[in-house]
Each structure stands twice: as structure tokens, then as C-alpha cells.
Amino acid sequence: MPTDVERWKDEVYGEEIREHLMEFAEEGWEAIPEDEHDAWFERFKWWGLYHQRAGQESYFMMRIGTPNGVIEPGQLEVVGEIAKEYATGPAENPEFGGAYCDWTTRQSIQLHWIKLEDVPEIFEKLEDNGLSTQQACGDSWRNIVGCPVAGKDSHELIDAWPIARDLHDTFKGNEDHTNLPRKWKVSVTGCTEGCGQGDINDLALEPARKEIDGETVTGFNVRVGGGLSRKEPRLARDIDVFVRPENADAVAGGLSSLFREHGDRENRYNARIKFLVDEWGTEKIRSVLQEDFVDIDLHSAGEDLREEYTYNTGTQDGHNDHVGVHEQVDGNYYVGLNVLVGRMGAEDVLELADLADEYGSGEVRLTQRQNIILTDVPEDNLDPLLDEPLLEDYSPDPSPFMRGSIACTGTEFCSLSIVETKNRQVRYARWLKENVELPEDHEEFHIHLSGCTASCAQPQIADVSLRGMKTRKDGDPVEAFDVGLGGGLGEDPRFADWIAMRVPADEVPGAIANLIETFADRRADGETFREFVEARDEDELADLLDPEETDYEDPYMHNTKKTWYPYAAEDDMDASPAPTDGAGNSLPADD
């Protein structure tokens, strides 16, 4: 039998949701029938709106898609203005204030505390400036990711930006690809760094070369079925297909159609193409694609160039995460800024937009590391840009612990999360920076903190992986983490091994400190942290991890989702002002 979600989508889905959304916005939160909340909240996702967690009724998260992370001149200012005007909620975050933007691990933008009544004005501002929330969520093509400096980087084999842009233009709003069994995540990589992270996407186009009719063609090999969600991670698998750049849309659309027709619509847990690849195998995927879904003859895979990848490989080579100052192919420079856990206050966003205009072309780009890049900076502008006070907070030369910190939304807004995330990872990074020293040859160290098993922070591909759990300590329920080690991508990708379970949150920094100290003392010459982990079994690593209390203090230990907002002074859900009307005034409770 079809799931509830499939029934809801059969009734209303895709472009037509917008008309209903606008009607609800005009009439207000109470116009949505209470017994239809789940159905409409599911549909709203197609237009980039997620209803926030319990206790925050009438407030939404809004996701803005920026294909390949490209934010064109003028657009960042618009995003900052929208955040400042519409994304200030009834409570302040003690670290980030009342209004902020989140840069995501899929090169998108997220805003919080959005009121339904403000959506029409926000959409108008976005669309007047070439931005959209369309299909930023929901069962369709999500934001297409890739190298954030595509078209500007000297490490490119092929400029992937025109391909990503064409896929975005072709399939966003395309009725044939509107209603898929679940989300469809696509990566296009054209550089030798591998920063598109194709291994963890449903569809990955990765750089390759092939001799065709006596001509050496640079294009893409195709991999299918990657993903990290829940406890079923998969690496994308090679289906033995090489694609010319001009045929990328045909093959990508064919695979999307194959998933549309054959993906599981009766069990949403299994409704990802990674499970179809498990069931069918890569040979059947390829043959069905050729026979039923494309009109071109598929070439066999070309020369794989993945051995050159450096992005998140566990090595310290290359320019990996694009943080720092790097020369572009045209002689200008791009400057990658570290945004700790991907969150930037609205005022800082507006100031950064001004700096992008003053020192560069006005264009900025988002990375899958939750960081932001200013592009097209002439050499003469580098020193004055680097002297700007804002760059003291968003550094191009951060501590490895700041540089490698990624965190998802967490219990601040997400109904799935089990623990507080962003403020905690900020505290972890700062404590580690002050108390722990990595070997001098380690400029990067990745710690990814995810609030649950949904893996939005991509924990399985980090040096240290943290997955939100709960446990008891001294008789009290507390927030905790499963701890994994040794994940990463590259030529030889591997997922982290989960070493310790349900470690109380205040003992995690001590565990990481003990492990790094042992690594520094016992490593072989030149051995990377990932190699150190790979060389040891789980029992030995568990002994080396050794969780313990330190002078690190965790103010969120005992929240365990008891309050409507993790940073609220009150200690109960009933203190919430939600739901509220369009002006933010509390609505009276039903009699």
C-alpha cells in the first residue's frame, strides 16, 4: 500500500502547492486544519519550508537553493536583509543572537523563525533577485552540489559549473521529475580535489577521460546510490558509464526517471536509490537505463581520475576545503572564510556582502564545509580585505578545530534531533583550540556533530564523528554522543567506525584530547590521523579514546528536549509563546 506521504502527494504536489501556500499565508496559521498539519507540512517542503519542532508551532525553517553554492552579485545582500527582517524569532540564541543565516553541507542557505504570513513577501524578494526555495526540500531534485570554485580554479579538469547550472535549469520545476519516491541528491565534480563529494550522493558525475573515435574526451564517469542517512550509509557505485558534458542532462534525467518508476513508494525508509542499487546491482541499473530511459548509446566508463582527490581524504595535501587565499585561473584570487558550524549573524552577512562588492566582484560561494568564499579579488585588494575586522571572526587561517567543525541544526529547531548541536560544537571547538595541540603537519582535523542518525552533518566521513544520543549520568538523563573515528572520502573512501556509545556530552572533549595526545605520541613518521585509526582495531581505539570530565562545562547537558527552545530560561514546554499570529503575538489556546 502507498504510504501516507504518497497519498498526500497524489492529492496535491509540485508547483500547485504554491497556490495553497499563498492562501494559508493570507489567512494565517490557524487556516491550516489541525488534522491536516502533517499533510501540508510535507507538501510545503517542496517549496523549501520545514515546520519547526514541538513548542515552535507556526514557525518554519526556509531553505534557499543555490546551485553549486553560487551566490551571484547582489544576492547575498538580499539574503541578509531577509534574515534581518523576517528571521528573528521570539527567543535569542546566546551565541548567535536573534537573526542569522545557516550555510549548509549542501551549499544551501537556511533561515529560521519564518512566519507563514511573511512567505509571499519573502518569495517576491528572492525571485526578484534570481533566488528561489523551489524544491530545496521534498521528494525531488535537491540543490545540486559541486566544487564551490568551479570555473575559477586552476585544479580543474573540466568546468563543472555550466553542467550543474544546466541540470538545475532543466530539472527544477520539471513535471516529469517533480514527484520522486524520495529526495534526489546530485553532485557534479570537475576538479582534481574531489570536493563535489560524489561518493555520498544519489547521483555523482565525476571527472574522467576516454578515447572516443580517436579523440580524447574529458567528461564524467557516473556513480549511483551513495548516501549517509540513518544507519545505512552507502558509497556511490560505478555503473560503468562515461558521459560527454553535452549528454549529462540526458543521463541524469534518465536515472532520475528510473528512480521515479522503480523506487520504493510503499516504504519510505527504503525509498532511496541506494537500496535499489543494493537490490538490482550496477549491471541491471545500467541495462535498464539504456533500454528504457535514454535515447543515446552509453559509453563504458573512462579513465578514473579519483586518485588525485584530496578533499576530506585524511591527508593534509591540496587545498581541500578552500579555506585561505588561493589564486584563480584568471590571476585574481578567492578567499575562503571559516564560518564556525556554518552560522553567520544577519548583520555580519550584510557586512560580508559589502566586502564582496568592495574587494571582489560581489559574488560569493558556499562550500560543503559550511564555509563561504569571496571570489574575484584582485591581488592589490588582498591585503586590505584581509585586514578587515570581520575577518577576525571569519578567518581565512583558523585553528584546525575551528576549521573542521560541522554541526547540523539540532534540537534548537529540528524535530528529529536528540541533542543540542551548534552551540555545543562551538564550545567544543574553542575548548580544543585552547587545550589540545595537533602535530604541526596537521592543518586540518574534521569533527562533525549530528543531532541524530539522519546524518545532516555528514558524521560518517569525519576524523571524529559525533551522533546524538541520550544516556544517564549520576542517575539523571543527559545528552550524549556515539563517537566514531577515521571516516573520509577520496580515492579510498571509508566510513567512520563507531567506537564508543552514549558518551555523556561533557566527557567528549576529554575523549578527543586523550585520543589526539596518544596519536601525537605514538604515530609513525608522517602517519596521518586516519592512517593511525585504520591501523588499530576497535578495542584498542576504545581504550585510547578514554572519555573523561575536564574543565569543559556543558550548559546543555540536562536539556534532553524538555524545553520549547534549548536556550530558554524556563524549564518546560508550556512556556512557549507558540503558536503565534502573523505579527508574532501568541494565539489564545482553544477552550
Q: How many residues does the chain have?
A: 591
Which cell numbers hold the place of 523?
Answer: 604515530
Pairing of strands 49-51, 59-64: antiparallel
Which cell numbers hold the place of 2?
Answer: 502507498
**pLDDT tens digits, one per residue of 407-440:** 999 999 999 999 999 999 999 999 999 999 999 9
What would you report as the CA-atom Rg of the chain, rounded to the nearest whole angstrom? Answer: 23
Instruction: Give the sheet arrangement for strand 109-115, strand by strand.
Output: 49-51, 59-64, 109-115, 100-103, 343-345
**What pLDDT shows up at residue 306?**
83
- DSSP letters for 31-88: GS-GGGHHHHHHHHGGGTEEE--TT-TTEEEEEEB-GGGEE-TTHHHHHHHHHHHH--
- In angstroms, the CA 447 to CA 428 distance is 10
Q: What is the pTM of this model?
A: 0.96
User: For 195-320, where are the E strands, in sequence order?
Assistant: 203-212, 215-224, 237-243, 303-304
- In angstroms, the CA 177 to CA 258 distance is 10
**pLDDT tens digits, one per residue of 443-453:** 889 999 999 99
Tell me which H or E stretch contains 125: helix 119-128
- Residues of the chain with pLDDT below 70 are 318-319, 589-591
- In angstroms, the CA 342 to CA 407 distance is 8
The torsion angles phi and psi of 118, rounded to 5 degrees, stand at -90, -10
CB atoms closer than 10 angstroms to residue 10: 10
